[in-house]
Structures are given as C-alpha cells and as structure tokens.
Structure 1
Amino acid sequence: MTGSKDMCERLATFLDDDSFARLAVERRDEFRNADPFPHAVIDNFLPQDIATAVANGYPDPNDASVKWKTHANANVLRKFVEDTASMSLPLRLLANATISRQFLLFLETLSGIDCLLADPYFIGGGAMATGPGEFLKIHADFNWHHKLQAHRRLNALLYLAPDWKPEWGGNLELWSKDMTRKVHSIEPKFNRLIVFEVADDSNHGQPEPLKTPPGVFRRVFSAFYYTARKDDAEWNAPHFTLYKPENSPYSMSLRSEYEKAAKDSVA
C-alpha cells in the first residue's frame, strides 16, 4: 500500500523537477529547426520507475471491460482509449500530467508556441494500441477540435511498450511536405517522447503493418494540444476590443518564469 501511495505521489509531482525546464530550453532550437517540420525526439523522458509503473498499468486490447474504440478502414487499423475512467490509476495520473500546467509550459518552451490548450477529452488520442498486421498510413492530422473550438498545434507521443524489437517495425515515419521522400523513421522505443508541430503538411504515420508476435502491441500514449487562434494574423472572427496575449504581463510571464527555473537550477 505504501509503495502504491509513493508511486501516485511520484506520478503527480515528477514534472515539478527543474530538469524538464532545462530539457525544454536545451532542445528548443533543435525542435524549431528540425526537418521536415518542427519536432523533437526525447529518449528516457519519464523517470524509469514511473515509466515501468505506467507500462505495467497499460490496458489490454483484449479486455472487453475497457472502453476501447477502433479505427478500422483502408487507412488505419488500431484501438485506442480516450476515456480516462477506463484507465489504470498510473496511466490516469500520467494522462493528468500531460494536461497539467507544468507540461504545457514544457511544451510551450520547447516549441515556442504560446497559449497552448490541453485536450482533457483526449479526442482521437489517449492510450493507443496497434497489434500484429495493423498500421496507420501517412497522413496529416485533423486540425480543429469542435469541443474546444480550437486549432490543433502540437502532438506529444510517449511510447510505452517495453523491450521493443526493431524487427517488429512500427516506426513513426516523417515525410517531406511535398510527400516525395521519407525524411525520418523513428523507432517506438520504450519511454521515448516525440513532440511535433501539426500543420496541413506535417505528414506522418506508421504505414508498414506490424510484425509483432501475437499478443504484443505497439503502445503509445498520445496527447494533442491546441490554441484558440492559429497565429498572430488570425483575428478575423467577430470581436470587440482585440487584446493580444502580450498585453497580459502575468499570463506571458509564466513561461519566462519556467525558463528561469532551468537557469537557476544550474547556477
């Protein structure tokens, strides 16, 4: 019982560590300059004990008591769980972490995109599982969240299948904006986080059918992030006074304070 309580506390607080702020600052130039679109691949993102606890609590695609949804058509074949009520406690706490203030500040610092909104509904995301023969063809993501009324800007994918073998495939492929070449093929290694910017030409997918043994699944927790507007030029909806985010010193100071923690922790 004590061990479970300690792990819950770890899952609820691990993002408070200033090492995440340092990581975001260190990797932001790489993110913004990445080809074929802004992205970063971060290995060993979670502390090892937390990654193991979350992996051990990942839902079984064969468990009928879990609220699995299925994508099944010519372009995709996989299962996913959006509803956190159908997740184990460790996975639910991880889900909470991905929509937290601290993780939003991490993503804003890494990407340079301010005023990010998390999706607490995990629409189209959450705990995903792809089994033998399943796939996701190269695509660009949906760009509008009807529930939040917001524009999609970032994806964060955390791989949670321990002891993944390269011969199983399942690599995330990033393709050029004109779809003429595959630029990156990224193995779904355990505890690897991939963050990338979403646009109409952010072409990606896992197009090759998986070659995993029966009962072995490619597991990735996916969280998507939004903004209320696409960019500074998009202020064309009906409005009264147009207050820009920069006119709120307090709200815009949150990220600078987060970055300051990164500097102070190594001073």
Structure 2
Amino acid sequence: MNAIISKSSHENSELLRTQFENNTPFKHICVDNFLDQSISDGLISEFPSFSNDRAVNEFGQYGAKDVNWELQQIGPHYKAVYDSLTNGEFTRWLSSVTGIEDLVWGGESTYGGGTHENLNDAELDIHLDFNFDDRNQYHRRINVLIYLNPEWDADWGGSLELHKDPRIPATNEIKAFPPFANRAVIHETNDHSWHGFRRIKLPQDKQHLSRKSLALYFYTKDRPQEEIRGNHTTHYIHWPLPDSFQTGAEVTREMYQDIHRLISKRDSFINFFHDKEVEQAATIKHLSHRFNDLLDRATPPVLGYVSRQVGKQIGFFEDGWIAPRFSMGFVAERPVRKVKLRLAVPDNHRANYVIEGRIGDTPFEVKKSAFSGAITIECKARIDKGADFKIVIKTKSDLESPVGGDQRDIAILLQQIEFEHA
C-alpha cells in the first residue's frame, strides 16, 4: 500500500473512479483526507517560506505567487512525496481512479508544478492549461492539487473553481472547492477543463495567512484522438467586472480599485501579446524566406545532360508533388529531339485524369480513367541548340477534395524529366 496516500483514499478508489467519470462540468474528484495525516501535517510544517525571487509568473512579472519545484530539497515529508511519485506508487493509484493508463509525473521543473503560495489579493484567472510538454513530447492529462491550509474560510476567496465554459455565462456551470487542509482536487486537463480561483481577501487579523498548495501534473505519451486540438500554451479569461458595478450604483473606493486593477491587468496582457505578435511576425518572416529559398532549390530529377535549367520552376514541391500547373524553363545545350516525363499517382488517389502541356512548342495530352500508378509521357520535340524553351504540365482530375492543401490537390508526383538529343 502507498504510504503517502491515506488508507481511506485507497479503500474508496472504486467509488472515486465512478465519481471521476461522472462529475461535471468535466471529469474530476474532490478527496478530503487525501494523504496520510502524518504526511499532510509534515507538508504543512515544512512548507517553504515565501520568496520574492520565485514569485515570477510566465509573463516575467513579480507578484503574490511563489512557486517552489525543488521538492527533494524542502524537507523529509516532501522527499517522501517525491519518492512516491518517482517509484510509480502514486501514479498507479492515480491511474486506478482516473482510468488513464501509463501516467507519468511531470517531474521537478515541470512548468509551474511544485508548492504554490498565494498571498492576500492574489487570484488566478480562469484558464485552460497548456496541453503539451514539448521538451519531453508528452500530453498533459491530469492535475492533482493538494491543499495545505489548516485555517481557512470559504468567504476569504481562493476556492478552486471548475467551469463548463466561462465564455458563455448563461450556460456556464461552476463548482467551487475551498482549499482546506489535506483536500485534493484531481481533474482532467484538456480543451474544456477551465479552472482558477477568485481573489483572496483575508480579514485584517488574518493577513499573516496565505493560500498554500502542492501542484502535481501528470502526462501520457498519447491521448484520445477526440481530445487532440493542436498544441497550445495556457489560455486565460480574465475575471469580469464586479457584480456591484451596475447602472446607478455608487462607485465606492473599493469598486474603483477593483475596476482599475482589472483594466490594468487586461492592458498588461494586451501589451504582452502585442510584443509577442511583433516577435513572432519577425520569426515568421525569417522562416518564410528560408522556406521559399528551399522551395526554389527543390527541382525534379533531370536526366540527359542536354539542357540546363534557367529561372525558377513553378508549381513543384520539395516532396515531388506538382500543382495543377507546373512549368520549368531550360536552355538546350545540345539539340533536343525527345522528352520523357515520368509521373505517378498514389494508389489511394485513384481518379480520372487529364494531363496536358507542351515541350517548347510541341503540345501533348493524356487521358486516364480510374487511374493510379506510374505513367510515362513521351513527347517528340525539335529544339535546336541554344534555344530557350519551357516544359509546361497542366493537370485536371475529378478528385472531390484537396489531398494536402498548398495546391497539391491533383495527387500527381513528377518523378523525372529525361532529355534525348539528336
């Protein structure tokens, strides 16, 4: 039996599995007395002091949240938790209650995991977590949030809220869990697991307290296909203006400060993403130049040493696909009398094709019904030495939808151009 997780959590694992599957607004469970009591008490007593050096968020701003991910260094009880996480005992229990096999703890330095301490006035905007750890190529699947506050009142704020969809207030469903000691909230992370907590407002005689927790993130190598939406960072939705801000209401000092704080936060986010947009635009421009340069360098294999290319080819992709119109210019270094074009249609793209074009001034046309496989087009030509000429290929098919985007919608590969001289 796991020495970290409490006996009751083990004994109720089947019930917790059922609750996890059926709870709304998304899969989750709230487990009181989650850890063995001695472990919980030890984590509370060893909880690290707040450090301003660690109170930096993902936007590079110093604030009222301290994150310490060095669990092994904090104290013996944190070391015991670390050992349980690394030897697989914790993850085996977690898999049994979530139904997600092969879970892996994200480890130390796992993008914000570790001890979290939030001071008075701190809040966490409703958000979706980043869904992919690109360092290890793992999908983020489960959050385990263990609270370590022996003295807390729900009226002080700081309750974890799970939302169905904060962008649609009329149909949004919210569940809230005050951060009481030895309570764990375990929830899935995907593109609908919105969560956060409202601003902490401690009474005057409780200002020495803070909201303390241990955050553990778990991953898998794969995730269900229906949950894959593309990799993204954390997505935030700011808290709305206070409910007291209504037509005809007196604007109190507290209301003014709340509104000013919320607007300042929005302005900060706008500035951050503006700077990010400028930075990414410069990166995209640089990569576009590189990409276009690589495309320019991509040419189909040319055999015969009869002609050399001049100018840029149009409609040829580096993996051999051609666009509906392909053209390529040459200079004949020896007289050209015949050109062979070798093309191919993938087996899974069987269709009716019309392939036409010209070699210099000599036209050609080929029609194929329900065709797939290789095709060789031989075109007699009369191109004198030193003459400029073009090879043009125009392709039509009855394929119902694009095969790959970026104009590769004809599903034809140009594999080789071969010249024969006089």
Q: TM-score range by the shorter chain?
A: 0.7 to 0.9
| 2:100 paired residue number | 113
Query: Given the alignment, which residue of 190, 194, 198 partners 1:207?
Result: 198
Query: Given the alignment, which residue of 209, 215, 218 partners 1:225?
Result: 218
1:24 matches 2:30: no
Q: Give the direction of change, closer, same or farther, for the CA distance of 1:226–1:138 in structure 2 (3 Å limit).
A: same
Q: Measure how far apart 1:221 and its partner are.
A: 0.1
Query: Given the alignment, which residue of 82, 87, 91 partners 1:95?
Result: 82
Identity percentage of aligned residues: 25
| 1:216 paired residue number | 209
Whole-angstrom CA distance in 2 between matches of 1:47 and 1:227: 27
SS in 2 for 1:71: coil
Q: Give the direction of change, closer, same or farther, for the CA distance of 1:160–1:100 in structure 2 (3 Å limit).
A: farther
Q: Measure how far apart 1:49 and its partner are.
A: 2.2
Query: Given the alignment, which residue of 48, 68, 74 partners 1:59?
Result: 48
Contact 1:43/1:193 (8 A) holds in 2: yes
| 2:116 paired residue number | 128
Contact 1:69/1:81 (8 A) holds in 2: no
SS in 1 for 2:121: coil
Give the letter aligned to residue 15 of structure 2.
E
SS in 2 for 1:14: coil
Summarize deviations over 1:123-176 as a string: whole Å, max 9, x none. Answer: 211000000111111000011112321000000010011122223211001111
Whole-angstrom CA distance in 1 between matches of 2:165 and 2:94: 23
| 2:138 paired residue number | 150
RMSD: 2.7
Contact 2:131/2:140 (8 A) holds in 1: yes
Deviates more, 1:84-93 or 1:46-55: 84-93
Unaligned runs of 5+ in 2: 229-422
User: Quick check: which one's helix share is greater?
Assistant: 1
TM-score (norm 1): 0.74
| 2:29 paired residue number | 40
Whole-angstrom CA distance in 1 between matches of 2:226 and 2:122: 41
| 1:78 paired residue number | 65
Contact 1:135/1:210 (8 A) holds in 2: no
Greater RCO structure (CA 8 Å; 6+ sep): 1
Q: Give the direction of change, closer, same or farther, for the CA distance of 1:44–1:148 in structure 2 (3 Å limit).
A: same
Whole-angstrom CA distance in 2 between matches of 1:37 and 1:229: 20
User: Quick check: which one's strand share is greater?
Assistant: 2
Q: Measure how far apart 1:210 and its partner are.
A: 3.8
Q: Measure how far apart 1:55 and its partner are.
A: 0.5
**Matched residue pairs, number?**
220
| 1:261 paired residue number | none
Query: Given the alignment, which residue of 140, 143, 149 partners 1:161?
Result: 149
SS in 2 for 1:106: helix
Q: Measure how far apart 1:25 and its partner are.
A: 1.6
Give the letter aligned to residue 214 of structure 1.
Q
Please identify the structure whose Cα radius of gyration is greater: 2
Whole-angstrom CA distance in 2 between matches of 1:187 and 1:233: 32
Q: Give the direction of change, closer, same or farther, for the CA distance of 1:155–1:176 in structure 2 (3 Å limit).
A: same
Q: Measure how far apart 1:83 and its partner are.
A: 2.0
Q: Give the direction of change, closer, same or farther, for the CA distance of 1:99–1:85 in structure 2 (3 Å limit).
A: closer
Q: Measure how far apart 1:92 and its partner are.
A: 2.7
| 1:240 paired residue number | none
Deviates more, 1:15-24 or 1:149-158: 15-24
Give the letter aligned to residue 60 of structure 1.
S
Q: Give the direction of change, closer, same or farther, for the CA distance of 1:134–1:84 in structure 2 (3 Å limit).
A: same
| 1:177 paired residue number | 165
Whole-angstrom CA distance in 2 between matches of 1:13 and 1:29: 21
Whole-angstrom CA distance in 2 between matches of 1:117 and 1:88: 23
Q: Give the direction of change, closer, same or farther, for the CA distance of 1:126–1:161 in structure 2 (3 Å limit).
A: same
Whole-angstrom CA distance in 2 between matches of 1:159 and 1:146: 28
Give the letter aligned to residue 114 of structure 2.
G
Contact 1:139/1:205 (8 A) holds in 2: yes
Q: Give the direction of change, closer, same or farther, for the CA distance of 1:42–1:165 in structure 2 (3 Å limit).
A: same
Whole-angstrom CA distance in 2 between matches of 1:68 and 1:131: 13
Give the letter aligned to residue 134 of structure 1.
A
